[in-house]
Structure 1
Amino acid sequence: MSNYVAKNNAAEPEAAPKRRRKLWLASGIAGLTGVVSIAAVGVATGAGAVGSEGLRWSTAQQVSKDGDRGAAEREEHQGKKDGEEHQGKKGGEEHQGKKGGEEHQGREDEREHRGKEVPCDSDKLIQAIIFANENHGGVLELAKDCTYRLTRSDEHGNGLPVIKENIVLKGHETKIVRDATAHHFRILTVGRGGHLTAKGLTIKGGQTAHHSLHGEAADAVWSRFSNSVEATKAAQAGQEYVPLLQAKPKGEVLKSAKAETEAATLLDGGSHAGGGVLVHAGGTAKFEETHILGNQASSLGGGIANFGRTSLHRTTVADNTAFFFGGGIFNAGVLQVSDSRVINNDAIIGGGGIANGAAFIFHRDVDGGTTWIEKTEITRNETLGFGGGLLDIEGTSAVKHSKIADNTAALAGGGVASAGDSNFELTHVEIAGNSTIGVGGGLALALGAIANVEESKIVANKAGFFGGGVFTAIAEATFRKSEISGNRAVGPLGVGGGIFTVLSEIDLDKTRVAHNFATRRPGGVFSFLSDVDVDDKSAITANKPTNCEGTLTRVPRCFG
C-alpha cells in the first residue's frame, strides 16, 4: 500500500514543548526509596519491509565511463598502427575528444552529486534503500518539505531497511516519522559495514518494543558505586551517616541465566535500544543539520544508541526517552558531538542527556566507549537516577567549550556523574544551574572515577544533601584554573555547598571555591579522610556558614 503524500507542506513542530515532571517534587522521593520499578509489557512488531521490484536505477554512468575510455584507447592504438592520420588532424581530434570527455564527465559528476531523487512516498524510500544496499550504496535525494510516514517494520523492529552500504540520505526540511498508530519500531538502523550520512532530516517518533527491567531500580544501581543513598536515609533518621560513606559500596551484580541471555543482546543494542537510530558495532553514522526528536527506547538510547562510530554536527537531539540509560544518546562505541544541542531528554536510571556506558543489577554492564563533545549545549535533561545531563560509566569522555546546564537527577550528579573506572576531562565547560535532591548538584564522582577539570566553571548548582557543587566518594579530581561558586546544599541536612569529598584525592590548582552555601557547616569544603591539596594560588573564601570549619579532616590553606 502506498503512503504517497504530494508535497506535504504541513510541517510538524521541530520539538514539542517541554513536559517538566518536577522530579524532586514527586511523592516518595524525599525518602529516596523505591525510586523506580517498571513492569514488562508485550512486544509488538510490524510486517516485513517491501521488496525492491519496480524500482529502476540507471547504471549508464559507469557503463558510459568504461565505454568512452575503451573507445579512446582503441582509436589511439589504431592510429599508431596504421600511421595514416595526419599529426595535426590527429591532435585536433584528440583535443576535441578530450574536451568532449571532460564535458561528459562533468555531467556525470553533477548527476552523481545530485543523487537519486526519491518521491514523497515511504514505499519508494524503502525500495531506494534496498536497491542502494544491493548496488554498492548511493546518494538518495529526498523530497523537499516531505514527511515520509512509516507504518510497518521488519521482524527485527526496523522501520527502514538496515543500512549495509555507504548511503547518503540528503533531505531538504524532510521528515521521516513513525506513524502514531503503528506498532513499535525504530526509524533507522546501521549494520556492520554500513555507513550512513544523514543531512537536513528530522527523525521522529521511533519507539522500540517494551522491555522488562526485571526489578532494576536507579537507587540500587547507584549503590554499586556509592553509599550516598544509604547515608542520606541515615541522616534523615538522625543516625550517623559518615560511617556509611566510609564503607566500600556493594559493587555486586546479581545474574540469572535469563538475565545473562538478555544482557548479551544489550551489548550490541538488541531489539530494544535506539528508539530513533541504532548503530551496530562495525557501523558508522554521520548526522549533519538533523533533528532527532520524540523517540523512545525501552532500554538504551532514546534518540540514538551507538555501538559503532557516530558523529553529530549542528544537530539537535530533543524530547527523547530511554527506560534504562541515555535519554538522548547512549554510547558504547566512539561518539563525537559538535556544535549541537542535547535538550529535554529523559532517562529512568541514568544519563538523561547522554550516557557513555550502563550499569545494572540483574544484567551485565555495558562499558562506556569514547566520547568527544565540543561546542555543545546539554540542557534541561532529567533522570530519576544519576547523571542528569551527562553520565560516564567505565568509559572515557572529553568535553570542551560546552555548557551543561539546568539538568536534573534525583539521586546524584544533577549535571554530570562519573562512576567506575572512568576518565573525564572538562575544559572550558560551564556546569551551571543543575540540581539533585541527593548528592553532587553539579558533578558527582564515585568509585574509581577520575576527572580533570580545567578553566571551567561549576556554578549555581543545587543539592538536597551533600556537595552542592561537587561530590566525590573514592574518586580523584583535579581542578585547574577553575571556579566552584554560588552552589548550595539546601536540605535540612545539607553539608558542603562547594565540595563534599570522602576517601578521595582532590587537587585545587589556581582554583577558587567561593560564595557557596550549606545549611550545616561547612559551606565551602567538607572532607572526610580525603587528601585535599590546595596550592598557594587557590582560594576557599566567602562561603557560608563557614569555609571549612566543621570538616572532619583538615583542609590546608582553608580558614574560617
Structure 2
Amino acid sequence: MSGSRGTGTPHRPKTAALSRHWKMAVLAAAGFATMVSTTTVVAVTDAGAAETHPATAVTNSGKSKVAPPAAPARDGVDADAESQDGDYWAEHAGNPGPNDGGKGDDRSGSKGEADKEGKGDSGDKRGKGGKENRSASKEGKDGKEKGSASKGDEGKEKGSASKGDEGNEKYSGDRGDHDEKHDYKRHHRDHDKTFVECDPNELIVAIIDANQDSGGDLYLAEDCTYTLTVNQDGNGLPRIIQPITIHGNGATIARAANADQFRLFEVGAGGDLKLSDLTLTRGKTAEGQEGGAVNVNSAGRLDLDHVTVTNNTVDDIEDDDAGGIYNAGVTTIRSSTFSRNAGEDGSALFNDGGKVEISGSKFTRNVTDASDGLGTIRNFAGSLKISKSLISHNTTDEGGGVYVDEGVAEIERSAIVHNVAASTGGGVFLEGQGSLHVRHSTISDNVGTSGGGGLDLEGSAVIEDSKVDDNTTTQNEAPGGGIFVALQQEDAEVAIRDSTVSGNQAPGNDSVGGGIFVSEGSTLTLTDVKVTENLSDEPAGGIQNNGTVNTNGKIRIIDNVPTNCDGSAQPVPNCFG
C-alpha cells in the first residue's frame, strides 16, 4: 500500500490474563503441536529443490540435547573488508549458516557468473495492470506451502523419542566455567539462561516466563524445527514486551502448513528482541495485518544476527505489506539473509517511520505485487542505512531493490544488482520528498521496464565513488537506461561525483538517454564522472538533458550511441558529439 500509514498492527491491551490464556492454549493444543525429536531441516535452494540436513539434536538414546551455542561462522571476510566496495560485498554478504534460505543465490556479484535474470526474462514488459504467478507470494494460500520443515509438521514425524522422553531430557549447554551435565524436566534455567527443549510448547512457555521475569536469554535445541500451530491475536508466539534474547543454535521456527494464518513474532512496547543463528519461515499474516515473520511496533526493538528470513508472506499480496519484517520501531540486521518473501510493499522489509540499519546482509528473490508493489526494501518517512550488503534478483512494480519516500536512505559499500521493476527504478526508486546517499556501491544489471533502469530519482540524491553499469529499460519511450532524473521539489538537486555511468541501454523505440536522462526543471551536477558506452534508440545516447546539467573536474562523455549529448534540448558542458 502506498502513502501514509499508521503504526502497523494496533496495540491490544494486555493484562495478567495473557499468560494464563497462553498456558491454556498450550495445554489445549498439546495434541496438535509438534514435538520434533528426530528433525529434518529442509533448505530451499536456488532452483527450488530441497536439501535435507539430518538434525544432530538427538542422542543415541533418542533424547533431545541442547549443545553449547556455537559462534556463527564469519569466514570469508578479509582483514581489510571495511574498506571494500559493493562488488566485494556482493560475494560476502548474507548469513553463511546452513539454513540460509538464499543458499546458492547470486554470490557472483554485479558482474560475475550469476544468471542474468535481471536483463533477460524479467524485462517482460509487465504493465501496471499486469499480474504474474509467484510461488513465494502464493505460498500457503491453499495450505500446501513449500517450507523448511518436513511432513512431520502435521504431527507425523519420524523419530526415536516418544512423549515419554519429555520428562528426563539431558541438556549440555554453555554454563560459563561449568562443564557438568544435569537432568532437567522441560525447559530449565542455569545462571539466568533458559535451555528450551525441541518442543514448540516449551518455547511458548519459556517466552511467557521471560516476559514475566523482566526478560531472559533463551537457548534453543541445536538444529531443531519448532513448528507452531497455536494462534493468538495473529501471532504464533507470545508478544515480546521485555528484553529477550533467543540463541537459535541453528534452529528453525516455522508456522505449520495446516495452521491458522499468523506471523511468528510481534515486538510490543518495551520489547527488545534479539535473534541469532536462527531461521524464520512460513509466517503468514492474518487478514489486514503486516509483517509475515516479525512485526516491530513503534516502541519496540529488533536485532537480527546471522538470521535467515525466508518464505514468509501476507494474507493478501495486493493489499498487505512486509512479507518479512514490518518495522515501526528500531531494527538492526547483521549478516542475515532475506529470501523468497512476499508482500505488496516492502516484500522483505517495510520501514514505516522507524529506524533500520542493515549490514553484511543479503536480500534475494523477494517479490511484491506486480501491478503496484513498491520496493523489496521500502523506507517510508524513516531512517534507513544499508552497508556491505547485496540486494539481488528481486521483483517489484517500482524500486526493484530499494524504494524510498519521505525519509533518508544511505547505501554504502553495497551491490544492488539483477533486480526488476515492472514500471520504473529497477535498482532504486526515490520519491520527491525523500533523500538518498549512495557511496562506494554498485548498481548494475537492473531492469526498469518503463524508465530508470538503474535509478529513478525524483528527490535530492548524492551518488559518489560508485558504478551505475549495464542497467536497461525495455519498453518504447522508456528513457534513462542508467539514471532517470525527474525532480519534484524546486530546491531538489542530484549530484554525481567520482563515479561511472557505463554500458546502460534504453533500446526501445523513441527511447533516449541511454546513460542519463534529465527532465525539464531538474538539475544535475557532475564532478569527475565518466559517462561511456551507453546506448539509446534516439539521441542523445549518453546524456539527454532537458533541464540543467553542471560539470566540474574531469568529465569524460564518450563512446555513447547514437550520440554523446547531441540531440538534447539543453546543452551539456564539456560534452562533444
Q: TM-score normalized by structure 1?
A: 0.71
Distance 1:173 1:107, change over 3 A: closer
Written as runs of structure 1 = structure 2, the 5 A alignment for 1:232-247 is none
Q: Give 1:512's aligned residue.
A: 530
CA deviation vs aligned residue, 1:30-50 (integer Å, no higher than 9, x gap): xx3534699xxxx99xxxxxx
Q: Give 1:424's aligned residue.
A: 436
1:468 counterpart = 2:481: yes
For the 8 Å contact 1:8–1:145, the answer to whether it is kept is no
Answer 1 or 2: higher relative contact order, Cα 8 Å, separation at least 6: 2
Aligned-pair distance for 1:354?
0.6
Q: Give 1:133's aligned residue.
A: 211
CA distance in 2, matches of 1:153, 1:142: 21
Aligned-pair distance for 1:184?
0.9
CA deviation vs aligned residue, 1:40-76 (integer Å, no higher than 9, x gap): xxx99xxxxxxxxxx99xxxxxxxxxxxxxxxxxxxx
**SS of 1:425 mapped into structure 2:** strand
Q: Give 2:201's aligned residue.
A: 123
Q: Give 1:8's aligned residue.
A: 38
Q: Give 1:526's aligned residue.
A: 544
CA deviation vs aligned residue, 1:348-374 (integer Å, no higher than 9, x gap): 2344421112xxxxxxxxxx3001111
Q: Give 2:389's aligned residue.
A: 376
1:336 counterpart = 2:329: no
For the 8 Å contact 1:15–1:294, the answer to whether it is kept is no
Q: Give 1:482's aligned residue.
A: 499
Q: Give 2:379's aligned residue.
A: 356
Q: Give 1:450's aligned residue.
A: 460
Structural RMSD (CA):
2.7
For the 8 Å contact 1:113–1:139, the answer to whether it is kept is no
Greater share of residues in helix: 1
CA deviation vs aligned residue, 1:268-302 (integer Å, no higher than 9, x gap): xxxx1101111010100101111000001242211
Amino acid at match of 1:356: N
For the 8 Å contact 1:5–1:146, the answer to whether it is kept is no
CA distance in 1, matches of 2:341, 2:242: 27
**SS of 2:209 mapped into structure 1:** helix
Aligned-pair distance for 1:7?
3.2
Q: How many corresponding residue pairs? A: 419
1:309 counterpart = 2:342: no
Task: Give the counterpart of 1:459 among 446, 457, 469.
Answer: 469
Q: Give 1:543's aligned residue.
A: 560
Structure 2: gaps of 5 or more residues = 1-28, 50-116, 134-140, 143-165, 168-174, 182-188
Q: Give 1:176's aligned residue.
A: 253
Distance 1:6 1:346, change over 3 A: closer
CA deviation vs aligned residue, 1:291-345 (integer Å, no higher than 9, x gap): 000001242211111110001111001100012x101111121001111101111
Aligned-pair distance for 1:151?
1.1
For the 8 Å contact 1:112–1:139, the answer to whether it is kept is no
Distance 1:15 1:164, change over 3 A: farther
Amino acid at match of 2:530: R
CA distance in 2, matches of 1:424, 1:172: 37
Q: Give 2:268's aligned residue.
A: 191
Amino acid at match of 2:409: S
Structure 1: gaps of 5 or more residues = 45-54, 57-103, 212-271, 358-367
Q: Give 1:438's aligned residue.
A: 450
CA deviation vs aligned residue, 1:157-180 (integer Å, no higher than 9, x gap): 111111000101111110000111
CA distance in 2, matches of 1:370, 1:536: 32
- Identity of matched residues, %: 35
CA distance in 2, matches of 1:521, 1:478: 23
Q: Give 1:165's aligned residue.
A: 242
Written as runs of structure 1 = structure 2, the 5 A alignment for 1:289-304 is 289-297=306-314, 298=316, 299-304=320-325
**SS of 2:451 mapped into structure 1:** coil
CA distance in 1, matches of 2:224, 2:214: 26
Aligned-pair distance for 1:453?
0.5
Which range moves more in the overlay, 12-21 or 456-465?
12-21
CA distance in 1, matches of 2:230, 2:41: 22
CA deviation vs aligned residue, 1:106-132 (integer Å, no higher than 9, x gap): 669x97667111111111111110111
Amino acid at match of 1:25: D
CA distance in 1, matches of 2:226, 2:379: 31
Task: Give the counterpart of 1:321 among 320, 342, 350.
Answer: 342
Greater Rg, structure 1 or structure 2? Answer: 1
CA distance in 1, matches of 2:522, 2:228: 52
Amino acid at match of 1:209: A
